[in-house]
Amino acid sequence: MSDSKTPSRCPFTGKTANGGELHQHASSKEDRLTTGQGLPVSDDQNSLKAGSRGPTLLEDFILREKITHFDHERIPERVVHARGYGAHGYFQSYGCHSDITKAGFLQDPDEKTEVFVRFSTVAGSEGSLDTARDVRGFSVKFYTKEGNYDLVGNNIPVFFIQDAIKFPDLIHSVKPEPDRGFPQAQSAHDTFWDFVSLSPESMHMLMWVMSDRAIPRSFRMMEGFGVHTFRMINEAGESRFVKFHWRPKLGTFSLIWDEAVKIGGADPDFHRRDLWQAIESGDFPEWEFCVQVFTEEEADSFDFDILDPTKIVPEEKVPLRPLGKMVLNRNVDNFFAETEQVAFCPSHVVPGIDFSDDPLLQGRLFSYLDTQISRLGSPNFNQLPVNAPKCPMRFFQRDAQMQTQVPKGRVANQPNSLDDGSPRECPETGFSSYPKKENGTKGRVRSETFADYYSQARLFWNSMTEPERNHIVGGFTFELGKCETPQIRKRMLGHLKLVDAKLGEKVAAALGMDGEALDIEPAVPIIEYEPSQSLSQYGKAPHTLEGKKIGILTSEGAPNALLEKAMKIAKAEGATVEIVAPKVGRCRTSDGTNLEPDHFLAGGPSMLFDCVIIAPGGDEEEGKALIDQADAVDWVRNAFGHLKVIGFTESAVDLLEKGGVKPNAEGGVIPLDEAGWDDFVEQAKAYRVWDREPMVRPV
């Protein structure tokens, strides 16, 4: 990509600054935006760069003031990613990858590198729900022999904005509105949709966030991405661009919206509990670490800019290269000491990994370190056990709050000739930035190569299966339906019409706003891409029960043979079984043994499971007792409505009928006679009965 020297372009109207038509210009001196010192701001959309595609300059005091203030808004809770959960594990390289990087942890397949991983939501506070519709953080701290490497990413490969200077505005827009303090952990309100509708660079990200990707089934079944383009450098000093990916061994699965909402009420810690239980039971979650590798020349041939964080590199264009695996095998000993005090910074890299000039990444390199100092109270946060490197640390930093070490000797400076034992620079093995030549005009500009806001959003839509498209329509409808300002809805409908005409029409019809979409002219022509199978969760989902939970609803006199059969099948398939009974106390099975249920009926709704079996005790009175309980009827209705495969015994027929569910083996409601078990397992491996959805949730 060449370095464009065109003037700054308004991200909404697409018109240039020298045309005098920038969106939302101040009409008088009193309306002017200023810094905290009263200095009028000429451009609050672009950070100061050396050329439109060059690095962000440390000189940019407006960017630093804005982000510094933002970083210090919460003490001690994180401003973003406040609700998180972590675990320990290890990373193991598949082999030597010296052709692309000299990073030591990627060279020896016999070496295990310790890691700490923190998953999180972005918008909600520490006390919010796990299952809120939101981006999920996916951050990994590698404790390598060359120092700590933090890969700080998300479960979505793109982001809302192209420049870090807009990050405080994005988060302020999605947080509870400041005059009223709500809504919590929701983007379904005016300030968010006003912001993104005026920032069309957000359109690709919005497609992901309105899809099921924003309501994952579990952390264990969630992809991770580095978001930005990074560099890898080998021993010869050769540089290649890379995109980082984490692929879950269990596959990528999500909840559906009604299910996510109800789980939030039944178990607000659903994702935390799932990860904890899996590790405690020895079902260690595993991900494959992959990269897309491409040269600068290849990047120049793409019809999008690899420095733009709102763009992906389709896997059809650059396939994934597996580098190694990550396994989480140990829960934390203390939530606060580890999960809350862990400090991730994108600037923590090791030799062989370097940065690109992505303007969002450039701002993050400053912001995260500043944030950690605010949250943890001192630049000595690296001395906390969860943050401390596992390799030797030797430096001349001294004192400051929370100093726990006792440095010895008279020398605290470099260079020096007074102490032969002091650390010295090592040009041979120390970190060296890639010597990329920069030559650009200093200014607040955005490259024209960032101006395509709709093509990859359309690519995402065209790559979805029919159920995924229906859920995206439902996501936009729900969120925009919560907006009180009609003009915001009209503006967003105009953008959706550019992404795809049918998408725009369906959302408009659902809102009762046919024909009200604003006419928006894209800044550049929209490119038609071939669909990418890798973008669809369900188009590539593995056919498996591994890692899934089978819920069995039963009662006094629970059929012992059925329970044993279910346990045996679950063990063979790598799944787990949990028993739901009317009460929390013991009940007896059909052979008279005691059964300790995992859940009582009101506290164990069917939403908590991936597939279900309904098997009341053989006693007629017990069967009727379940039918007379509203929670049992809802258990059945919700399982059917959430498209789960349902196995049932003869004693459950009346309960199914009360819940409005008709037995239909082809439709995933399967009698568990001798032949039915194989059918149940086979259909449950498909995760959901998608053909049922038009019946229960017409779109």
**For the segment 89-141, what is each residue's pLDDT rounded down to a tens digit?**
999 999 999 999 999 999 999 999 999 999 999 999 999 999 999 999 999 99
End-to-end CA distance of the chain: 42
pLDDT of residue 419: 85
Indicate the DSSP class of residue 584: S
Please tell me the predicted confidence (pLDDT) of residue 35.
78
Amino acid 10: pLDDT: 46
Distance CA 518, CA 490 (A): 6
* CATH for 452-535 (1.20.1370.20, 3.40.50.150, 3.40.50.920, 3.40.50.10800): 1.20.1370.20
- Asked if residues 53 and 15 have their Cβ atoms less than 8 Å apart, the reply is no
CATH number 2.40.180.10 is the correct assignment for the domain at 49-208+217-383: yes
Position 699 scores a pLDDT of 66
Token pair of 409 as six digits: 């000797």
Residue 68's pLDDT is 83
pLDDT in tens, 16-70: 333 333 356 777 777 788 877 777 888 988 999 999 999 999 889 888 888 887 8
Q: Supply the Cα-derived Rg of the chain in whole angstroms.
A: 27
Domain ranges in the chain are 49-208+217-383, 452-535, 549-696
Q: Where are the alpha helices (DSSP H) in 287-437?
A: 296-301, 335, 359-376
Structure confidence at residue 18 (pLDDT): 33
Locate 206 and state its tokens: 């919005």
Low-confidence ranges of the chain (pLDDT < 70): 1-24, 75, 619-623, 699
Q: Of 67, 93, 89, nearest to 80 (Cα)?
A: 67
Residue with tokens 């998180």: 84
* SS3 annotation, 140-193: EEEEECCEEEEEEEECCCCCCCCCHHHHHHHHHHHCCECCCCECCCCCCCHHHH
Residue 233: CB partners within 8 Å, gap ≥ 6? Answer: 101, 102, 239, 351, 352, 353, 354, 434
What's the pLDDT at 521? 96
Looking up tokens 């399967």, which residue turns up? Answer: 670
Peptide bond into 216 cis (omega under 30): no
The fold for domain 549-696 equals: Rossmann fold (3.40.50)
User: Residue 395's pLDDT is what?
Assistant: 85
> Do residues 562 and 542 touch, judged by C-beta distance below 8 A?
no
pLDDT value at residue 476: 98
Three-state SS annotation for 246-269: EEECCCCCECCHHHHHHHHHHCCC
pLDDT given at position 24: 65
Query: Which residues are known catalytic residues?
Result: 81, 154
